Amino acid sequence: MPKISIITPLYNGLKTLEETADSVFIQDFKDWEWIFFDDGSKDGTQELAKKYEKEFPGRIFYYEHSQNRNYGTAYTRNRAVEKSKGEIISFIDQDDIWFKNRLSSQLKLLDKSDDCAMIWGPCLYWYKEREFKQPVGYRGSGLRTGLYQPPEFIEIFLSDLRGTPLPGASLVKRKCFDAVKGYDESIKGSEDITLWLKLANVFTIYYEDEILVKYRRHQDSTLSVARGSGEMDKWDLDFYKWVINFLKRSSAKKNILYENEFAYYKCLKRIAEKQNYFGSRKELLRGLNAFPELKKKFMMDYLLDIVLPFDFATKISAKLRFDWFKNI
């Protein structure tokens, strides 16, 4: 049985998968298996993954959904984990690059902490013409290396979603992954964040301030395409509704709940503003009617949005809520 199971969901990744694979093959830790699970690729990715399976029998395994269907990243990652055997789960996306000591460095620390569910570190955001360290910590203020007890990371993660762990920069103990029931398959685009929040609510997490992963940013990524099409706004709406319900059950500070309820309302506005004046206000009201609990809380904001441009109304309501009223 391998120590680590590497999980990679595949979707039209032919342009980058070979470079990603090379970074896995040069790892100085060798006790791993690699699970490829294709999510409906149409560009030749499947053939490349099958080639790797033939070259590394018993170490690399390829699976795909029946009838080449596309189910999304969360569903596909969960199915891949079910096929794996290692006690530690390590994710890598089809376009990311590991440094040579990525697995060995983090595994050494994780094995020292019996009560620790996962370890993660910052990635190097990697664009075509520039790169920079991922901002982490509360509102990007940085993090100290060490153990964080539940629910410390909930507030930290939700203060700036850019600073949440990247799958390729994290190791997770299988028993802890199973305990929180893995990825929430109803969420798209932010499925990683829901997993980290569930783990942070009940388990100790270790942060190591060392860059071991290059996270490729490009226009062909799933998130970039979703943002360009406007689909990401709908995904964000589902995500914030999930976060609101999660925070009600968690032990995190309740002021975080209100901030994320406001984020949900702003997301409703982003979707509504694509229509004309009257259509946008009607669409915003429809969204509030679908969430009666928030409709009552944000009726003042809605009234501001009726008489003012959305951007201006948002600035005024945020100022009232987070600057003026909190000092009364």
Percent of the chain with pLDDT over 90: 78
Please give the Cα distance from 203 to 152 (Å, whole number). Answer: 10
The pLDDT assigned to 231 comes to: 80
The pLDDT assigned to 203 comes to: 97
Angle, alpha carbons 265-268-272 (nearest 5°): 140
The pLDDT assigned to 328 comes to: 39
Q: Where are the domains of the chain?
A: 4-226, 253-327
The string of DSSP codes covering 46-91 is HHHHHHHHHHSTTTEEEEE-GGG----HHHHHHHHHHH---SEEEE
CATH code for the structural domain at 4-226: 3.90.550.10
Is the model more confident about 326 or about 230? 230
The mean pLDDT value for 53-69 works out to 97
For residue 39, the 8-state DSSP code is S
Give me the long-range contacts of 154-157 (CB less than 8 A, separation at least 24): 154/197, 154/200, 154/201, 154/247, 154/250, 154/252, 154/256, 155/252, 155/253, 155/256, 157/193, 157/196, 157/197, 157/200
Region of 326 on the Ramachandran plot (φ > 0 left; ψ -120 to 50 alpha; else beta): alpha
Gyration radius of the chain's alpha carbons: 21
The pLDDT assigned to 76 comes to: 98
CB atoms within 10 A of CB 95: 21
- Secondary structure of residue 3 in the 3-state scheme: coil
Please give the Cα distance from 212 to 204 (Å, whole number). Answer: 21
Please give the Cα distance from 38 to 49 (Å, whole number). Answer: 9
* pLDDT one-digit tens code per residue, 103-135: 999 999 999 888 899 999 999 998 877 889 999
pLDDT class of 311 with cuts at 50, 70, 90: confident
Distance of CA 252 to CAs 114, 139, 158, 180, 202, Å? 24, 17, 11, 17, 11
For residue 324, the 8-state DSSP code is I
